[in-house]
Amino acid sequence: MNNLDTLVKEYKQSKDPKILNNIFILLKSTIKDRAKYIFSHQNFVKEKKIMKVYDPKKKKLVDKEFIIGFKLAETNFMEFRDVIGELNLMILKLIENYDTKFEFSHYLVSAIKRWRPSCIRDEIIKKQFKNVSTIVVDEEGEESNLLENVTIEPDIEIPNLEDLFVNLTDTEKKVIQILNKNPKIKQVELAKEIGVTRNWIGRIMVDLKNKYKNS
């Protein structure tokens, strides 16, 4: 990966699109292999069930946890080419934010291993916000939910929630950081902690809905 590290550093200095193109040519097989694993082989947790099973050693029924999983290829969440596209976008952002004091190849391996497709990250959002009052009222008086189009699956690795939104203000970032640490916090408590009114928190929730990347 030494060539990759060199190319990325050259691109960071020059912003030459030809160099960027060479980077993605070099990473083409890596991206394809990772996308194939995520799409066809990686198991995501759908549900956990506790069932009674007979333990021959204890000679009695005991509780046993069974995990029900799914693979993206078995769903209609997204197509294989969508996974490749999202991986390319993630790597592009990684390059733009990369600190050249470190080796990019190590940075890349860690990031690719942690990365999850948007359809899985959508489910995480609801998990994080599910205990917060996310019903908001728009300027026309109509109620909507910040998470109305998001489904939930439990026990999925939690990413940085700020990465799922665009153009966040400092206050919005603070709201997300607090919700990430304490998803059960009420909006009135959230308003008090930040130092704004309850109505202002409602306005922020509306703005977050608009800034959510897949909305």
Helix or strand run (H / E) with residue 197: none
* 3-class SS of residue 194: helix
The whole-model pTM stands at 0.51
Strand 135-137 with 60-70, pairing? unpaired
Neighbours of 76 (CB within 10 A): 7
For 47-58, how does the pLDDT look when each residue is reduced to its tens digit (9 = 90+)? Answer: 667 777 878 888
Give first-to-last CA distance, the chain, whole Å. Answer: 37
d(CA 191, CA 173): 14
For 25-78, how does the pLDDT look when each residue is reduced to its tens digit (9 = 90+)? Answer: 999 999 999 999 999 988 876 666 777 787 888 888 888 877 677 788 888 778
